[in-house]
Amino acid sequence: MMMMMKMKKLFVILSAIMLAIVFAVPAGATDWDFYGSVRLQTFSEYQDKNMSRQENQPNFDDRDSRWDLNTVSRIGATVQNGDIGGRFEYGHTSSDVSLRRLYGTWNFGPGELTIGKEYTPLHFVTNQVYDNDYGLRGFGGFFTFNPMIQVKVDGFKLAFVRPGVGNPDPILYVGDYDTTYPKVEASYTWAMDTFSVKAFGGWSTFEVVDFADKEYDVTCYIYGVAGVVNVGPVTLKAMIWEGQNVGLYGLTTNHEVDFKPNYEAGDIRDNNGYGGVASIGVKINDVIGVEAGYGYVTGEDDPVGKNHNDEAWAAYLQAPITLAQGVTVVPEIGHYDYEESDTNADQGHESYFGAKWQINF
């Protein structure tokens, strides 16, 4: 009931905003293009007893069904009025609706200015559909979706992004995080008819304050290259990168390789790592296709007196099926492996199979 009331309130507000714009702007001056996408995930998943994130007792294998509305289901609109444009887009969470995108654009001639919440220059994922269209973003892919100010000129993008410290774990010696500067991201894309190549980089810095009020500087950065090739029915996607403390930069990390520095009394030890993703898809005909993808990450896990790299990888195979225009089903099977810890203990694995159901309108 509360969810329905929130939804009704949201649509009332949006309707009022749209009516106000319609009456304020001369007829025909602004083009509105509304759209929506409903996505349902129906998967069976298995986690072995060594997984550290077991919901119940950690010494048993776990099997569950994931049968729920995909959180990247959305409804929104794009707007264009001469050199001014924009978009709003609302999505779904487990208990509420959420703002996915809200930004405005200004075409100033040689380039374009974007202000608002939108994909940042680092964004790069595959077509993996399990776990809310995960796209291997915890195994080398990047889902970067933040408020920013961005300038684009031809293939070059420069963005100043909301600062933050990712999702740090509670640490004994950390009392506070001080963010002074925004994140800075940049990319350059060279696009041709059948392929595109993107070089990218990101930088962030902040201070960690311990309970003795002593400050430590933490610097996060990442750089790499990505590419997409389209040759007839075949599509290839790949990205490789290297970085430092990328878990505190705010990039999605998986459940074992978190890319966060080790905090020790009086010192911070940076976590350096690298990773990448690759996929190949083939469109067999207008109805069915097939795609395989792989992702790999490794980062330093250096407790006192040890030097250890923590690794993880993921792979999937899918067969997208188009039932009608805007109607698709994507059967998919996949496997995650978290390799071994710094004590050579098995950190577990998980596997899944099922499908994503989607209707665009």
Buried b (16+ CB within 10 A) or exposed e, 94-114: eeebeebbbbebeeeeeebeb
Per-residue confidence (pLDDT) for residue 3, from 0 to 100: 41
Q: How many CB atoms lie within 10 A of CB 26?
A: 6
Q: Report the share of the chain in percent with pLDDT over 90.
A: 59
Q: What is the pTM of this model?
A: 0.85
What are the tens digits of pLDDT across the range 297-344? Answer: 998 765 555 567 788 999 999 999 999 999 999 999 999 998 877 667
Using only C-alpha atoms, the chain has a radius of gyration, in whole angstroms, of 22
SS3 at position 361: coil
Residue 293 has pLDDT above 60, yes or no: yes
What pLDDT is recorded for position 259?
Answer: 74
Q: Which residue has the higher pLDDT, 264 or 164?
A: 164
Is there a contact between 130 and 334 (Cβ–Cβ < 8 Å)? yes
Q: In terms of Cα–Cα distance, which of 75, 73, 74 is closest to 39?
A: 73
Among 60-64, 118-122, 276-280, the minimum mean pLDDT is found in 60-64
Return the pLDDT at 200. 98
Residue 22 has pLDDT above 50, yes or no: no
- 115-120 long-range contacts, Cβ below 8 Å, gap at least 24? 115/148, 115/149, 115/150, 116/86, 116/147, 116/148, 117/145, 117/146, 117/147, 117/148, 118/87, 118/145, 118/148, 118/150, 119/144, 119/145, 120/144, 120/145, 120/146, 120/148, 120/150, 120/159, 120/161, 120/185
Flag whether pLDDT at 19 surpasses 50: no
3-state secondary structure of 6: helix
pLDDT value of position 251: 81
Region 160-180: mean pLDDT is: 73
How much is the pLDDT for 23? 44
The per-residue pLDDT of the chain, averaged, comes to 85
Burial of 139 (0-12, 13-18, 19+ CB in 10 A): buried
Reported as a pLDDT band with limits 50, 70 and 90, residue 296 is: very high
pLDDT at residue 350 tops 80: yes
Percent of the chain with pLDDT over 70: 81
* Residue 260 phi, psi dihedral angles, 5° rounding: -105, 145
Instruction: Return the pLDDT at 169.
Output: 56
pLDDT band at 134 (very low <50, low <70, confident <90, very high): very high
Token look-up 């963010």 returns 179
Q: How far apart are CA 76 and CA 124, in angstroms?
A: 22
Concatenated DSSP letters of 70-85 = -TT-EEEEEEEETTEE
When mean pLDDT is compared across 22-36, 203-217, 237-251, the lowest value belongs to: 22-36
Question: Can you list the domains of the chain with their CATH numbers?
Answer: 2-360 (2.40.160.10)
